[in-house]
């Protein structure tokens, strides 16, 4: 059975965008073996790897997909065909917190079916990538 390993973000400033999502979600930098860090540092020193071209975050308890940020050309972000839906105990407080980190509010929507009602806020991260808070 397949599982989601990474959620990839094409972006202009991977390190800066990773800092936003790190603060937004409480994700951490992934733990790698010491040998991997040595290889990365050596590749940077040789000019083979630009550390500003990518960043990766992992869930703090190891369960769930990693977030991978890469400097690449982005496609249009307006329609949000694939995006993150964040859950929060207090949606309005979370929207305020994320706004203080650099996110922007697009709109708040409500959906009703019978007596069931769901409200969410459509937001953009600092690079304009859409996500929702429920």
25-45 pLDDT, tens per residue?
999 998 888 888 888 889 889
Predicted confidence band of residue 79 (pLDDT cuts 50, 70, 90): confident
Is 59's pLDDT higher than 90? yes
Domains annotated for the chain, with CATH where assigned, are 1-76 (no CATH), 83-134 (3.10.180.10)
pLDDT at 77: 65
Q: Is the pTM of this model over 0.75?
A: yes
Across the range 72-89, mean pLDDT stands at 83
* Best-predicted range by mean pLDDT (2-6, 72-76, 82-86, 95-99): 95-99
Residue by residue, DSSP assigns 72-127 as: -PPPP-SS-SS-EEE--SSHHHHHHHHHHTT-EEEEEEEEEETTEEEEEEEEE-TT
């Amino acid at each position: 059975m397949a599982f989601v390993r990474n959620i990839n973000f094409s972006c202009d400033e991977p390190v800066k965008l990773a800092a936003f999502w790190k603060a937004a979600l409480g994700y951490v930098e992934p733990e790698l073996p010491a040998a991997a860090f040595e290889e990365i540092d050596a590749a940077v020193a040789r000019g083979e790897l630009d550390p500003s071209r990518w960043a990766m975050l992992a869930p703090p308890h190891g369960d769930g997909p990693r977030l991978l940020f890469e400097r690449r050309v982005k496609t249009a972000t307006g329609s949000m065909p694939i995006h993150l839906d964040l859950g929060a105990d207090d949606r309005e407080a979370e929207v305020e917190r994320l706004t203080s980190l650099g996110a922007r509010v697009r709109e708040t929507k409500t959906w009703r079916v019978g007596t069931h009602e769901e409200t969410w806020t459509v937001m953009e991260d600092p690079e304009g990538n859409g996500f929702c808070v429920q």
